[in-house]
Amino acid sequence: MMSNIRGLTFDDVMLVPGYNGIRSRQDVTTNVTVAGRTFEIPMISANMDTVTGETMANAMTDFGGMAILHRFMSIEENVAMFKRLKHPKKTGISIGIGEEALPRAEALISAGAEIICVDVAHGHSKEVNRTIRQLREKWGQHIMIIAGNVATYAGADYLSAAGADVIKVGIGPGSVCSTRIKTGFGVPQLTALQECRKVDRCIIADGGIKSPGDAVKALAAGADFIMLGGMLAGTDETPGEFMTRKNSDGSETKLKRFRGMASREAQEDFMGGMAEWKTAEGVAVEVLAKGPVKNVILDVMGGIRSGLTYCGALNIKQLQRKAQFMEITPAGFHEGTPHASGRLTK
């Protein structure tokens, strides 16, 4: 049976400029409020072991965004890391759905955690529903529950009904994810966001964002937050040591490790190896060093503020009401990229 919904992603569309009565892009507001908590910027660092540890969490929350710590460590290490954070009320923690899920949640909530992310690759599942309900029954409205990942209205509605405050959207769009290649399942991210936004919950666009323009499109399509992994990978604040590669001309290149949490490498490090009945749904790569994460955050936020003015929107909710998408051809996409002849300069 073929769906009558056409799947589109960020490179398939452009936003159509509208009338702007705003004096300056400095006058727009990027605040997001969810479950009584306000964040100054709609940005979250991904809960991946090569993206968000305490240093990244502190940097992201210093700017007013949210960070979510990864869960691939012992409960004791997780609690100790959480206690060292500068802004614990703006930092989430991750749990899965196994036997360790609720004990991890209990230990971290006792340490002061208020944002709990139920983090599963396929969130439209009975076990995720049960975990959300157990969290809500035990801790009530004291905690904010993020749950995912899903890519359909039915999936988002299912998690909402279970008690999730925020829905994480994205099946297979991540830069180190191979779920769509390995399983054949997924929904192009723009369409996934447009479908999931029909549920009355805050939405996180998780994956597929390669540029500030993609971030604007994600917000316009219905996301309240963008979650970044690949764009933050290789920055100074990501976990892990830099590596040095010798080039043929004698120069050196600084690199850092970046991997999907379903990659074979991650499974070997944290699960004792890849089980025979499973396949890796992620890859591991080495990315170029990018310097301070501040540079990435400012670039993305500058694009978002400018994007709001191209739509004549004072805030993200106005952007979502006013935005008009136009489907474009590959040639139309290429036209919008730098394509001058000659040597590129910085």
Q: Is the pLDDT of residue 51 over 90?
A: yes
Q: Is the pLDDT of residue 343 over 80?
A: no
Name the band, by pLDDT with cuts 50, 70 and 90, for residue 230.
very high
Q: Does the annotation mark 117 as catalytic?
A: no
Q: Is-contact 166 144, C-beta < 8 A?
A: yes
Q: What confidence tens digit (pLDDT) does each residue in 65-87 have?
A: 999 999 999 999 999 999 999 99
- pLDDT of res. 2: 72
- pLDDT of res. 115: 98
- pLDDT of res. 345: 66
Percentage above 70 pLDDT, the chain? 98
Burial class (CB in 10 A: 0-12, 13-18, 19+), 60: buried
Q: What confidence tens digit (pLDDT) does each residue in 138-166 have?
A: 999 999 999 999 999 999 999 999 999 99
Select which of 117, 177, 196, 311 is catalytic: 177
Q: Is the pLDDT of residue 261 over 90?
A: no
Q: Does the annotation mark 177 as catalytic?
A: yes
Region 331-343: what's the mean pLDDT?
A: 86
Q: Is the pLDDT of residue 288 over 90?
A: yes
Q: What confidence tens digit (pLDDT) does each residue in 24-43 have?
A: 999 999 999 999 999 999 99
For the four alpha carbons of 284, 289, 292 and 293, in that order, the dihedral sign comes to negative
Q: Give the Cα separation of 135 and 144 in Å (integer).
A: 10
Q: What confidence tens digit (pLDDT) does each residue in 89-133 have?
A: 999 999 999 899 999 999 999 999 999 999 999 999 999 999 999
Going by C-alpha positions, the residue among 338, 341, 336, 310 that lies closest to residue 323 is 310
- pLDDT of res. 280: 77
Which CB contacts under 8 angstroms, 24+ apart, belong to 179-185?
Answer: 179/121, 179/262, 179/281, 179/282, 182/279, 182/280, 182/281, 183/281
Percentage above 90 pLDDT, the chain? 84
Region 45-49: what's the mean pLDDT?
A: 96
- pLDDT of res. 21: 94
Name the band, by pLDDT with cuts 50, 70 and 90, for residue 1.
confident
- pLDDT of res. 260: 79
Question: Would you kindly state where each structural domain of the chain is located, as residue ranges?
Answer: 18-237+288-325
Name the band, by pLDDT with cuts 50, 70 and 90, for residue 346.
low
Select which of 50, 52, 131, 179 is catalytic: 179
Supply the CATH classification number for the domain 18-237+288-325: 3.20.20.70
Q: Is the pLDDT of residue 266 over 90?
A: no
∠ at Cα 191 (260, 303), nearest 5°? 75
- pLDDT of res. 23: 94
Quote the mean pLDDT of the chain: 94
- Residue 59 tokens read as 């940097």
